[in-house]
Amino acid sequence: MLKTYHYNNLSREEIDELVIRNTDPNDAILETVISIVEEVKTNGDPSLRNFAAKFDQVEIDQLYLDESDIDLLAATISRDQQRALEIAFQNIHKFHSTQLRKERVVETMPGVKCWREVRPIEKVGLYIPGGSAVLPSTLLMLGVPARIAGCREIVVCSPPQKSGKINGFVAYCLKLLQIKRIYLVGGAQAVAAMAYGTESIPKVDKIFGPGNQFVTKAKSFIQGKTNVSIDMPAGPSEVLVIADKSANPAFVAADLLAQAEHGVDSQAVLVSTDIDLIQAVNDELAKQLAVLPRAELAQKAIENSYAILTEDLREAIQFSNVYAPEHLILETDNWQTITSLILNAGSVFLGHLTPESAGDYASGTNHTLPTSGYARSYSGVSVDSFVKKITFQHISAEGLEQIGSTVEILAELEGLHAHKNAVSIRKT
């Protein structure tokens, strides 16, 4: 099942090659994305209808559902399902509500006061995947912090289902978030529509959400071509599990498959100090795959995954830091001794009873996370992702006296005499 490599037998070049994922060596994905983006930019709504027919096999006239449509769809799910979504909403809200804090004023010199104030990003676009699996949880993960931040306009795009609508679970999440319209657009074309605006879809200031390689590539391309920013490169999904002999092979296999079933381009990596555990996990993978509804997708993802055998947990963390996983699971009794060594990870799950699935749905942390090694430099989505922090300063007469000569000297040594004069003219 999982091809196994011995960490100490790998060169640095071989490790670097192993950790590369979701590449586009011949720019085939990029070329497709550019053509889609240009089509949407040029032709707007008609192009979106054409792409819905081409990619989603759905003919749609109206590119959105309004509040009455959402209400009808939300009513189709059971009370138990509604309650599960409500609990997830509440936990996500509770965790994220602590992230919006007012900062104090700092007096850097007598009479010189500096501070930051938070302002929401006015218009945000949320992309909710809907290909092989529709993810209402992603709508909660993005919509809750957007609401807490106070974003004035929240634009939601998700691919139409075969019915030409959305499912009831997404609809119920829209109601929980008090969002009254959803646009039936998926893929790179949804990213383009939110970036440039069309007859139906408003242009936004920042685009959020995970997706396949086309969506992720479109987000990165858009950020380089417009003044619209993105949350991060997010997708396809991945997990790295560190496990030793204290781990339960069935638990480990289940966690690997939980990521693998997202799609064929997902990756699930096992790093272990115990060769016997790796074999036991392989046995469990075969057993659990046999009864998995999405076995075909998961099998292909597992074929593109691997296991690493290390001497100890410190080596395991060393490899993990190079890989920089979206999700990192520590299935060991000794997780407390190694968490301080973690440098690069999107979200970390500690111990034998903390499946990554809990974070995906309802523990409260956000599941929109950096992938493909971007955890080296990006954080996952939070309320901070939906706000700007603007600096303010006020200088009194005393403050100008205190700081004025310093600014004059620095401006003069840089040869910027107008800068110096802006201070000098105030001192006379």
- Residue numbers in the known binding site for substrate are 237, 259, 262, 327, 360, 414, 419
Phi, psi of 371 (to 5 degrees): -120, 180
Per the annotation, the verdict on 39 as an active-site residue is: no
Of 326, 331, 356, 408, the catalytic one is 326
Look up tokens 């010189």; give the residue: 112
Q: Is the dihedral of CA 239, 245, 248, 249 positive or negative?
A: positive
Q: What angle do CA 253, 382, 231 make, to 5 degrees?
A: 90
Phi-psi region of 372 (alpha: psi -120 to 50; beta: other; left: phi over 0): left
In order of 10, 298, 372, the CA distances from 305 in angstroms are 16, 10, 13
Per the annotation, the verdict on 238 as an active-site residue is: no
Extract the tokens encoding 116: 């930051």
| Closest among 286, 362, 308 to 87, alpha carbons compared | 362
C-beta of residue 57 within 8 angstroms of C-beta of residue 162: yes
**DSSP string of 31-75?**
HHHHHHHHHHHHH-HHHHHHHHHHHS----SSSEE-HHHHHHHHT
Residues annotated within a binding site for NAD(+): 127, 189, 212
Of 39, 96, 284, 327, the catalytic one is 327
Element (H, E) at 309: strand 306-309
C-beta of residue 154 within 8 angstroms of C-beta of residue 236: no
| Closest among 147, 136, 138 to 96, alpha carbons compared | 147
Extract the tokens encoding 132: 């092989």
Residues annotated within a binding site for Zn(2+): 259, 262, 360, 419
Residues annotated within a binding site: 127, 189, 212, 237, 259, 262, 327, 360, 414, 419
Kindly list the catalytic residues: 326-327
